[in-house]
Structure 1
Amino acid sequence: MSRIRLLLPSALLAGGCVAPGLKYIDPPPVTTTTGDSSTGDDGSTSIMTTTESSGGEGTASTEGASDGSQSTTTGTDSSSGVDTTTTGTTGAAKPVCGDGIVEGDEECDDANDIADDRCDGCTKNRWIFATAAFHNDGDIGGIEGADSRCRQYALQSGKADDTWKSFIAWLSDADHDVRDRLYPGRGRYVRTDGVVVAKTVEQFFSGALEAPINVDEHGNQDIGGGVLTGTKPDGTAAPGTHCDNWTSSSLSDHSAYEGNASSITQTWTMFPDDPPLPCTALSARLYCIEGE
């Protein structure tokens, strides 16, 4: 008789019943978490986490992460009312201009807000000047020779520091447009006396400057004179042979176009209505512009 009483509760439980006086306790919910990640246009990563529970549906939400700072996901088990939260940090912080660290699309970061130094708003102030030297004919060694002269003048000026190798001449020929040779910097273009000539590289192709390029590499002002350019106001090559691509000093060759160093209108680079000059006895300067 005592043996039957011992077996009875087990038999009832096996049949899905609960003996009087005993309380059935639900097992704890089983929670699984899965995540999907996505990468934004700025390189940051966002993580979406979904929480599922036995006995109920999971819900998920994602906050933050669009700036690469923090992603928080919260899930709720509908049967047990248990909240689960997952927080993670992904991606990289956006560059901060003024922290002294060059990162992202910054050209420079000198950790100050002085507008007239070499770094303005984390973009670079690039030098531009008209050469102190005059060039007497159309044979200047081609575009490469003109670029080389600009680099030597920049080096000798002492202002170009370690960037002198990036200088080019504002010069086109029959095969090259100067607008394709300029480095597409984001900053301003400044004379060696600190005056802004162009606020952006695109301003050179607009036909109007902020100030004339009548200052040489040493900072001497109001130098004036003609400047060899071979370039129309939109930055493309003028028509003609350009003194056989700037290698000719022939008296019979009339294909040199000049600009005026004292002008801020389109004549700074070319007189559109004037015929080209002979490729000898030109006595003209070069415009030199800093690149990368």
Structure 2
Amino acid sequence: MRRSDMRNGLISIAAFAAAIILPTLPAAAQQTDMTFFVTSNGLGKGGDLGGLDGADKHCQSLAQAAGAGGKTWRAYLSTQGAGAVNARDRIGKGPWQNAKGVVIAKDVAELHNNNNINKQTALTEKGEVVNGRGDQPNRHDILTGSEPDGVAFTGSNDRTCGNWTKSGDGSAMVGHHDRMGFDEQPPAKSWNSSHSSRGPGGGCSQADLRSTGGDGLLYCFAAN
């Protein structure tokens, strides 16, 4: 083979490789800048997340795999009882954007009022849409344990599956990431406080969560 032919061949191979690689760079850059996502999968143990620490570790692990592990990630979850924790107080100040670079809220106040969370923006760490109402399977129930304003529930009724340690009897408040429910009432469209989990397994099992349209998924926010 002549040297000129070999050189031209190498140039063609390099150009082909660049054509494949370059289109992926913007997406990778956007995921690095990601500060909000819905987990692509749950931990598989219903409402038992290993407490707040276990939930945070799940967020951090998924973010790391997506190339955004340089941030401190927190699950949007409240706890009840002595030393109650408010979800809104543990996620940083914002702004937050998804894996595609779309801003879902500029700060905590906007997040709990007129935010931009819906089926097309509440993406996973991989930039994928999460199944919602009308899809099979429906996965729109996102665990939060929170009131609409992002604070913990008071009283004795369990709304956090025993502060995220139970997979049997109990209950957890969930929100709808797709803002859709059985009717047009505000709770049905709430992203963070739609209804409590329930089911024959006691309310906190993985099967219970799936029976009402969930899969043990979480909202994750970069706190820094």
TM-score above 0.5: yes
The separation in 2 between residues aligned to 1:184 and 1:275, in whole angstroms, is 27
The separation in 1 between residues aligned to 2:98 and 2:93, in whole angstroms, is 18
The separation in 2 between residues aligned to 1:204 and 1:140, in whole angstroms, is 24
SS at 2:77 equivalent: coil
The count of corresponding residues between Structure 1 and Structure 2 is: 160
Indicate if the aligned counterparts of 2:117 and 2:191 stay in contact, CA closer than 8 A.
no
- Bigger Cα Rg: 1
The separation in 2 between residues aligned to 1:211 and 1:248, in whole angstroms, is 28
Q: Give the aligned residue type for 2:79.
A: D
The separation in 1 between residues aligned to 2:196 and 2:124, in whole angstroms, is 27
Instruction: Select the residue among 232, 238, 245 that pairs with 2:163.
Output: 245
SS at 1:255 equivalent: coil
Instruction: Select the residue among 141, 147, 160 that pairs with 1:226.
Output: 141
Structure 1 residue 275 displacement after superposition: 4.2
Indicate if the aligned counterparts of 1:138 and 1:247 stay in contact, CA closer than 8 A.
yes
Q: Please, which runs of 5 or more residues in structure 2 have no aligned partner? A: 1-28, 133-139, 181-185, 210-214
Offset from partner CA, 1:33-73 (integer Å, 9 cap, x none):
xxxxxxxxxxxxxxxxxxxxxxxxxxxxxxxxxxxxxxxxx
Q: Taking structure 2 as the reference length, what is the TM-score of the superposition?
A: 0.64
Higher relative contact order (CA 8 A, sep 6+): 2
The separation in 2 between residues aligned to 1:200 and 1:227, in whole angstroms, is 20
Q: Which residue of 1 aligns with 2:36?
A: 128
The separation in 1 between residues aligned to 2:127 and 2:55, in whole angstroms, is 20
* Greater helix proportion: 2
Greater CA drift, 274-283 or 210-219: 274-283
* Greater strand proportion: 1
Q: Give the aligned residue type for 1:257.
A: M
Shift in alpha-carbon separation, 1:233–1:126, aligned structure 2, 3 A: farther
The separation in 2 between residues aligned to 1:270 and 1:127, in whole angstroms, is 21
Structure 1 residue 267 displacement after superposition: 1.1
Offset from partner CA, 1:182-225 (integer Å, 9 cap, x none):
2224xx2111112111122221222x322325310011124432
Q: Please, which runs of 5 or more residues in structure 1 have no aligned partner? A: 1-116, 119-124
Q: Which residue of 2 aligns with 1:284?
A: 216
The separation in 1 between residues aligned to 2:197 and 2:70, in whole angstroms, is 37
Over the residues paired in the alignment, what is the CA RMSD in angstroms?
A: 2.3
Indicate if the aligned counterparts of 1:126 and 1:289 stay in contact, CA closer than 8 A.
no
User: In percent, how many aligned pairs have the same letter?
Assistant: 32
Aligned pairs for 1:1-292 (under 5 A) are 127-136=35-44, 137-158=46-67, 160-163=68-71, 166-174=72-80, 175-185=84-94, 188-206=95-113, 208-212=114-118, 213-224=121-132, 225-239=140-154, 240-241=157-158, 242-250=160-168, 253-263=169-179, 267-271=190-194, 274-277=195-198, 278-281=203-206, 282=209, 283-292=215-224
Q: Taking structure 1 as the reference length, what is the TM-score of the superposition?
A: 0.50
